[in-house]
Amino acid sequence: MSVLVDDDTRVIVQGITGGEGNFHAEQMIEYGTDVVAGAVPGKGGQEVHGVPVYDTVEQAAREEDADASVVFVPPAFAGDAVFEALDAPIDLAVAITEGIPTQDMATVNKRLGEVDTRLIGPNCPGIITPGEAKLGILPGNIFSAGSVGLVSRSGTLTYQVVDTLNDRGMGQTTAIGIGGDPIIGTDFVDALELFEADEDTEAVVMCGEIGGEDEEEAAKYIGEHMDTPVAGFIAGRTAPPGKRMGHAGAIVSGSGTGTAESKIDALNDAGVPVGDTPGEVADHIEDLL
Amino acid sequence: MKLHEYQAKQVFADAGIPTPAAELAESVDEVLAVAEEVGYPVAVKAQVQVGGRGKAGGIKLAEGEDEAREAAEDILGMDLKGFHVDRVLVEEAVDFTNELYVGVTMDRGEGKPVTMVSTRGGVNIEEVADEDPDAIVREHVDPAFGMHPYQARKAVYEAGVDRAIANGVASVLQTLYTLWDERDGSDAEINPLMVTADDEVIAADAVMNIDEDALFRRPELAEMEDESASGDELERKADEYGFDYVRLDGDVGIIGNGAGLVMTTLDLVDHYGGSPANFLDVGGGAKADRTANALDMVFSDDNVDSVVFNIFGGITRGDEVANGINQALEQFDEIPKPVVVRLAGTNWEEGLEILNEDLVTVEETLEDAVQRAVEYAEVEA
């Protein structure tokens, strides 16, 4: 078993005729993902990597019986593209695009509350169930199948942690990159709920970073509702207040909210061990399994 | 992107929010001329983008010409928390009976806009939020509908604003929300919103920050961006190169790909007893020229004694990074600072074959690379 995606997931790629969409559609297909359609306004009737392209997501979903869509649309149009996926409707939308205006995401967020679609991202590497399917830009070859669930706000940090886990022979059920933006569709609590419900996930790694209070909320959820053990990592311990560390959401505010310390304390209070290094996170997972 | 106070006030005034009579001045003579025009007493205010200007000596009140001259001489040319002051706003000093706070921002936890009102204006509002959160009334707004007029009134009444001025404050809040919404604001704030003896309200300060990701559709605001507003020369250079860069005060230079991994590298430098000199994210898919630019950035920081270059390739390819590192380093007769490289992920083996090990130290793991860079920095320092 796995979380959200597997080899039965039928995937649309929005923006499949663009540079990024084209490249990563091919990578996804090579990995074994069942990419069934592309959706690009005005490009209906074309074929990319043997996949039919439709003008709208609704049409693509209906004709190809798709259940998920990955958005590789430039930031100025990505908010609209995500809306289109939500309204198609589709079960799962994954928005890779970085740099979507925050107010566009606030409107998307409002709509999310009214539909059944789950959104992952934006500004995320996507989601992968090793050996079955990947939706996004994660490099498939570094993941291996196993029993550890992984949820992270950052792409390359995910790869680093996965690499460390693999070295110790610990594969992954599913890895979810939830994204580094201030407003995201799936947060830590949502992802942890999914892993808690998954029988094959025996432990979860949660990689957080400075900014916001999502990790604190997650700590509370773990303490109150989770039986599956969790180990944590928090990036940005040395980040100065008021400076945005790359991700739009990774900033410690002047009043001191969003600090690594507050997140680590909250996790420790919930019984979650937090590693100082990726190696220590793997140590904790070894102990927990 | 932050607007200067004078720019934000212009935006607010154009939308109908009352602001004091004021003009920008760049010399002592100009200050005196503007002061004469708006009438004493005046406030002389440094136009730099840092908080706490008043406490740092960047805002002074002048009752007459002598004091205005003194204030202008003190403030123009001063160094305010690392920023050089070359412009001041000369503004009529408002005679007030009360100071309020109004603001609009994005509540990221709720994922929706929030408007705020407090009768505790004129002080650091973040301190008020910490000490007495109930003193700030928050009203969330549905972005699909915008702010209903009743919501502005409700927030103002709940905050305990005096009835005589309640409509005036509600109107300012509503206008502020509309501005924030229409201009892609990240934060919009008036602190203090001054109340005069005859029950008028007037914006004595103005903060307007714009979502950088939305500047493409706000050209009128994009052109207000002050290239010199970042106090640090290297941070300006990073903007030109298109890097996410933050300068810190340590001596281990850090280059990596992906915000989370670069932050982690910083944390590891600290963990192993070193001190990070910067955050530099070269971004995804970094090609050779970006790699070279990143090294140039870090080498030009005098504080840097060693460099750790950590790439975990996904869409970024190890061979391209390796070529970029070689190219950047081969142009030096002597490598300015020792460079430790760690490559993992896509094409890392090809990358390691390409790397010229006469020029760099290669380590296989992140932990080893960081420890080596920390050791080098200790030797060099």
Residue A149 confidence (pLDDT) above 80:
yes
CA angle B221, B226, B230 (to 5 degrees): 130
Mean pLDDT of B113-142: 91
Structure tokens at A187: 């947060």
Q: Are residues A156 and A34 in the same domain?
A: no
Q: pLDDT-based confidence at A255, cuts 50/70/90?
A: low
Please tell me which residue, B287 or B22, carries the higher pLDDT value. Answer: B22
Q: Are residues A16 and A107 in the same domain?
A: yes
B145 touches chain A (CB under 8 A): no
Chain A residues touching B248 at Cβ < 8 A: 238, 240
Asked if B93 and B189 touch (Cβ cutoff 8 Å), the reply is: no
Q: How far does A63 lie from chain B, in Å, by closest CA? A: 31
Q: pLDDT-based confidence at B347, cuts 50/70/90?
A: confident
Give the pLDDT of residue A1.
Answer: 66
Q: Are residues A84 and A153 in the same domain?
A: no
Please tell me which residue, A242 or B370, carries the higher pLDDT value. Answer: B370
DSSP letters for B176-221? HHHHHHHTTEEEEEEEEEEEETTS-EEESS-EEEE-GGGGGG-HHH
Nearest-angstrom CA–CA distance, B4 and B289? 34
| Domains of chain B by residue range | 21-92, 96-222, 233-380
Residue A129 lies in a domain: no
pLDDT in tens, A7-34: 999 999 999 999 999 999 999 999 999 9
- What one-character DSSP code corresponds to residue A274? B
pLDDT in tens, B349-380: 999 999 999 999 999 999 999 999 999 999 87
Give the pLDDT of residue B240.
Answer: 86
Would the CB atoms of B260 and A107 count as touching at under 8 Å? no
Would the CB atoms of B263 and A235 count as touching at under 8 Å? yes
- Is B101 an active-site residue? yes
Beta strands of chain B (E only): which ranges? Answer: 22-25, 42-46, 59-62, 79-80, 83-84, 88-92, 96-107, 112-118, 136-140, 185-196, 201-203, 207-210, 244-247, 252-256, 278-281, 306-313, 339-345, 361-362
Mean pLDDT of B19-43: 96
Mean pLDDT of A163-187: 96
Mean pLDDT of B212-225: 93
Rg, Å, chain A Cα set:
18
Output the average pLDDT for chain B.
93
Q: pLDDT-based confidence at B346, cuts 50/70/90?
A: confident
Asked if B244 and A99 touch (Cβ cutoff 8 Å), the reply is: no
Give the pLDDT of residue A219.
Answer: 97
Nearest-angstrom CA–CA distance, B269 and B367? 9
B345 touches chain A (CB under 8 A): yes
Residue A153 lies in a domain: yes
Residue A65, amino acid: D
CA angle A223, A224, A230 (to 5 degrees): 40
Q: How far does B31 lie from chain A, in Å, by closest CA? A: 32
Give the pLDDT of residue B55.
Answer: 87
Give the pLDDT of residue B49.
Answer: 85
Mean pLDDT of A229-244: 93
pLDDT in tens, A39-56: 999 999 999 999 999 999
Decide if B21-92 and B96-222 have a common fold.
no
Would the CB atoms of B256 and A253 count as touching at under 8 Å? no
Give the pLDDT of residue B226.
Answer: 80
Would the CB atoms of B217 and A76 count as touching at under 8 Å? yes
Tell me, what CATH number does A266's domain have?
3.40.50.261
Residue B287 confidence (pLDDT) above 80:
no
Chain A residues touching B281 at Cβ < 8 A: 246
pLDDT in tens, B62-91: 999 999 999 999 999 999 888 889 999 999
Domain boundary among the residues A88, A120, A152 is at: A120
Residue A15 lies in a domain: yes
Nearest-angstrom CA–CA distance, A72 and A70? 7
Which chain B residues in 294-323 lie under 8 Å from chain A, judged by CB atoms?
312-315
Of the candidates B189, B245, B320, B363, the residue annotated as catalytic is B189
Query: Chain A: residue nearest B126 by CA?
Result: A255
Give the pLDDT of residue B283.
Answer: 82
Residue B286 confidence (pLDDT) above 70:
no
pLDDT in tens, B153-206: 999 999 999 999 999 999 999 999 999 999 999 999 999 999 999 999 999 999
Of the candidates B101, B177, B245, B376, the residue annotated as catalytic is B101
CA angle B323, B326, B332 (to 5 degrees): 150
Residue A170 lies in a domain: yes
Q: How is domain B21-92 classified at the CATH fold level?
A: Dna Ligase; domain 1 (3.30.1490)
Helical pair B163-182 and B5-14, crossing angle rounded to 10 deg: 110
Q: Chains A and B: how many Cβ contacts under 8 Å?
A: 172
Q: Are residues A159 and A79 in the same domain?
A: no
Tell me, what CATH number does A33's domain have?
3.40.50.720
Give the pLDDT of residue A59.
Answer: 97
Q: Are residues A73 and A205 in the same domain?
A: no
Q: Domains in chain A: how many in total? A: 2
Give the pLDDT of residue A254.
Answer: 63
Give the pLDDT of residue A243.
Answer: 85
Q: How far does A253 lie from chain B, in Å, by closest CA? A: 9
Give backbone dihedrals phi and psi of B93, rounded to 5 degrees, phi first: -80, 125
Give the pLDDT of residue A250.
Answer: 86
Please tell me which residue, B41 or B126, carries the higher pLDDT value. Answer: B41
B130 touches chain A (CB under 8 A): yes
Give the pLDDT of residue A224.
Answer: 97
Chain A residues touching B268 at Cβ < 8 A: 277
Nearest-angstrom CA–CA distance, B12 and B327? 50
Nearest-angstrom CA–CA distance, B328 and A51? 42
Nearest to A155 among B129, B270, B314 (CB): B314
- What one-character DSSP code corresponds to residue B21? -
Question: Which CATH class name applies to B96-222?
Answer: alpha beta
Q: pLDDT-based confidence at A242, cuts 50/70/90?
A: confident
DSSP letters for A54-66? ESSHHHHHHHHT-
Residue A137 lies in a domain: no
Rg, Å, chain B Cα set:
25
Q: Are residues A152 and A275 in the same domain?
A: yes
Residue B231 confidence (pLDDT) above 80:
no
Would the CB atoms of B106 and A106 count as touching at under 8 Å? yes
**Selected residue of A112, A167, A233, A238 to mutate for chain B interface (largest B Cβ count, 10 A):** A238
The catalytic site residues of A sit at 247
Query: Chain A: residue nearest B184 by CA?
Result: A103
The rounded Cα A162 to chain-centroid distance in angstroms is: 14
Which chain A residues in 152-191 lie under 8 Å from chain B, judged by CB atoms?
152-160, 163, 180, 182-183
Nearest to B267 among A102, A153, A237 (CB): A237
Nearest to A154 among B51, B259, B346 (CB): B259
Nearest-angstrom CA–CA distance, A191 and A196? 9
**Structural domain of A81:** 10-120
pLDDT in tens, B236-267: 888 888 899 999 999 999 999 999 999 999 99
Query: Chain B: residue nearest A99 by CA?
Result: B213
Give the pLDDT of residue A208.
Answer: 96
Output the average pLDDT for chain A.
95
Would the CB atoms of B271 and A105 count as touching at under 8 Å? no
Residue A126 lies in a domain: no
Q: What percent of chain A shows pLDDT beyond 70?
A: 99
Would the CB atoms of A238 and B267 count as touching at under 8 Å? yes
Mean pLDDT of A169-188: 96
> Does ipTM exceed 0.90?
yes
Give the pLDDT of residue B230.
Answer: 65
Please tell me which residue, B82 or B117, carries the higher pLDDT value. Answer: B117
Would the CB atoms of B261 and A157 count as touching at under 8 Å? yes
Q: What percent of chain B shows pLDDT beyond 70?
A: 98
Q: pLDDT-based confidence at A209, cuts 50/70/90?
A: very high
Mean pLDDT of A154-166: 94
**Level-2 CATH architecture, domain B233-380:** 3-Layer(aba) Sandwich (3.40)
Residue A77 lies in a domain: yes
Residue A63 confidence (pLDDT) above 90:
yes
Residue B317 confidence (pLDDT) above 80:
yes
A145 touches chain B (CB under 8 A): no
Residue B214 confidence (pLDDT) above 90:
yes
Mean pLDDT of B269-273: 97
Sequence length of chain B is 381
Would the CB atoms of A106 and B113 count as touching at under 8 Å? yes
Q: How far does A158 lie from chain B, in Å, by closest CA? A: 8
Which chain A residues in 242-281 lie under 8 Å from chain B, judged by CB atoms?
243-250, 253-256, 260, 276-279
Residue A159 lies in a domain: yes
